[in-house]
Structure 1
Amino acid sequence: MRRLQKPLTGSTTWIEGDGTISVRKLWNGRADLEELELTTPAGHLQGLAVRFYHPEPHQWHLYWANSRDGIVNQPPAVGAFQDGRREFYDQETYNGKIILLREIFSDITPDSYHFEQAFSDDRGQTWETNWIADITRVSPEPVAESMTAEDRSHDFDFNIGHWNVDVKRFTNPLSGDSKWTDWKGTARIAPVWHGRANFAEFEIDGPSGHLEGLGLRLYNSETKQWTITWANGRENVFGVPIVGESRTAAAISSTWKTSAAASGGRQIFVRYNLSMITPGSAY
């Protein structure tokens, strides 16, 4: 791997390093989670990408996060396969300036591919490549999940594993309707970055059908807070994250603001509480 030290500054100094990538399927292949571990002379980098497939336009949406700030980048990079290549494009803020980002996956074989990332600060007229990598498969299986990170938060350690889920949902929230419906299903929670983060897959069934959900929980060690970013299997899009923290050993509480359409498109506040925590159950 080669990485340009100071992109968009005229720099020609590159940093070289080695790393590993591990990819796990989610939702039976309709999404996946990629973990990156990279070591260079400039330090150690942990990153992850969650990629959702949208069958109607035949496109993928890619969300990126790193372990330093525990935040999922919004909006996602969007791209598709064409002529043996996959190109993603995104708009981001870099050093206080709006830029375009391009990612290209090329020379794809069953066991290897080439990756390049580039920035443009002139609306795509010119591109400066700042990340080059050649990736070779070492195993068809993802790296084994572990909880070995010494500097991780232990708030969600109890939650790792497979669970049966009983859910009660309001039929029409914020409408005055007090009718509840019962849903049942399963959940799988697995560690990421050796326990510094985790993801949760849910499948539940109820009166109106089958629901699939995916939650990515990232920890910011400086603020001592978690962000929980949620997507459902119908839309395949990450929403506005929940932000919160553990207040007691038996409860995790958070308050967040979202623009979800559950209330007719209005801005609302949502409170999320996880309590009555035991080794085998939670409320």
Structure 2
Amino acid sequence: MSTDTTTATTAAQPAKITGDFDFFTGHFDVAHRQLKNPLTGSDDWEEYTGTCHARILFDGAVSIDQVTFPSKGAYGMSLRLFDPVEKDWTIYWINSKTGKTQPPVRGRWDGDSCWLVGEDEHEGRPVLASYVWSDVTERTAKWQQAFSVDNGETWETNWVMEFTRRDDAPEPLGLPKVTDDFEFLNGVWQGEHQRLREPLTGSTEWYEFSSTLTGWTYFDGAVSVDEGVLPSLGFKGLTFRTFDPIAKEWSIYWINSLRGKLDTPVVGKFDAEGNGLFYGPDEHNGVPIEVRFHWRKNGPAPTWEQSFSTDGGQTWEANWRTTFRR
């Protein structure tokens, strides 16, 4: 978010640029077939079932789904981002037991299938991981994961998901709630923004604009997603937040619809009074900086403020303030 320095203009929202994952919306039953011990020569597979709920954002350029694993007492999530310049997809996987985004795979659709690949590790061993989407119909789809330990010369498939559309929402898992920190953002909000026109220049000129924000939570509150529509700036913004249940802190990522990339996160937590402070490294116009987000969530009109520091956090300059109202 820190590098978004577009000033207020009268700009139309970008036209729809992809419908690749439009088929993957709504509720699904999922049949899993998973290799118990990958990369060992074993052919011992485990079969189990679950459900999935998926939606698209950014007019199709973001795809999010939550997969439930009832027999394992856990959730999984895929975050898919379309790069409007490179014309390919980057996909991140998040497991509810860690709350961390795993290394991504990247690729694109070719006809009726999609192949993506990226560097990962399995039990400490470096691997290439690949995802394949195929067999897409109006009511079904197939996903497969495979690993390679020889730089892609050979692949071993270790996980297959078969999706079948269902007409109603599945029953919730009913797991103990880990956090409700960002559930206040669920639903539709109007944002009233003030932005410093030229941060870190000594400027005191601010401009104002409005937005509409819609928020959702997943993982029983431990993932928070909101999409902001900013008509005067000519783009949409998506905030993706994941909660680490061990460290008890949030990682907050920003995605600009013009770039389709996951920015460097800020990390932090809320105190008992509803004040949240989140910090992270970034750069502004090529200059290394520290970024701070400050949420004040209590009351009918939550506020958010972004600040930059060029001296390691000794001093801060606020450059973006937002008040949210229903």
Alpha-carbon separation, structure 2, partners of 1:282 and 1:173: 20
Aligned to 1:172: 198
Measured in 1, the distance between the counterparts of 2:215 and 2:171 equals 11
User: 1:149-168 residue pairs with structure 2 within 5 A?
Assistant: 149-168=175-194
TM-score (norm: length of structure 1): 0.88
Corresponding position of 1:270: 291
CA displacement at 1:55 relative to structure 2: 4.0
Code of the residue aligned with 2:93 in structure 1: it is W
* Equivalent residues of 1:145, 1:190 under 8 A apart: no
**Equivalent of 2:239, from 202, 215, 222?**
215
Question: Residues 171 and 267 from structure 1, CA distance in 2 versus in 1: closer, same or farther, beyond 3 angstroms?
Answer: same
Q: Does the 8 A contact of 1:170 with 1:180 survive in 2?
A: yes
Cα deviation, 1:181-212, whole Å, max 9, x if unaligned, reads 21211111111123232201112244xx3231
Matches within 5 A, 1:8-19: 8-19=39-50
| Cα distance in 2, alignment partners of residues 145 and 39 from structure 1 | 10
Structure 2 gaps of 5+ residues are 1-31, 305-326
Which residues of 2 match residues 94-243 of structure 1 at below 5 A? 94-139=122-167, 143=169, 149-206=175-232, 209-243=233-267
Q: Secondary structure at the residue paired with 1:188? A: strand
Per-residue Cα deviation, 1:128-168 (whole angstroms, up to 9, x for no partner): 111012211113x7x48989653221222222221111111
The structural deviation recorded for 1:272 is 0.9
Identity, % of aligned positions: 27
Q: Which amino acid aligns with 1:178?
A: T
Alignment of 1:243-262 (within 5 A): 243-258=267-282, 260=283
Q: Aligned partner of 1:53: which letter?
A: F
Is structure 2 residue 47 aligned with structure 1 residue 26?
Answer: no
Q: Measure the CA separation in 2 of the matches of 1:253 and 1:146.
A: 31
- Superposed CA offset, 1:81-107 (max 9, x none): 213211111111332232111111112
Q: Cα deviation per residue 1:27-75 (whole Å; 9 max; x = unaligned)?
A: 22221211111244xx23311111122344432221221111112224x
How many residues are matched?
Answer: 273
* Structure ranking higher on relative contact order (CA contacts 8 Å, 6+ apart): 2
Structure 1 residues 164 and 147: CA distance shift in structure 2, 3 A? farther
Label 1:13 to 1:54 Cα distance change in 2 as closer, same or farther (>3 A). same
In angstroms, what is the RMSD of aligned CA positions? Answer: 2.3
SS at match of 1:175: coil
For residues 100-132 of structure 1, the C-alpha deviation after alignment (integer angstroms, 9 at most, x for no partner) is 111111122111122211000110011111101
Displacement, 1:242?
A: 1.5
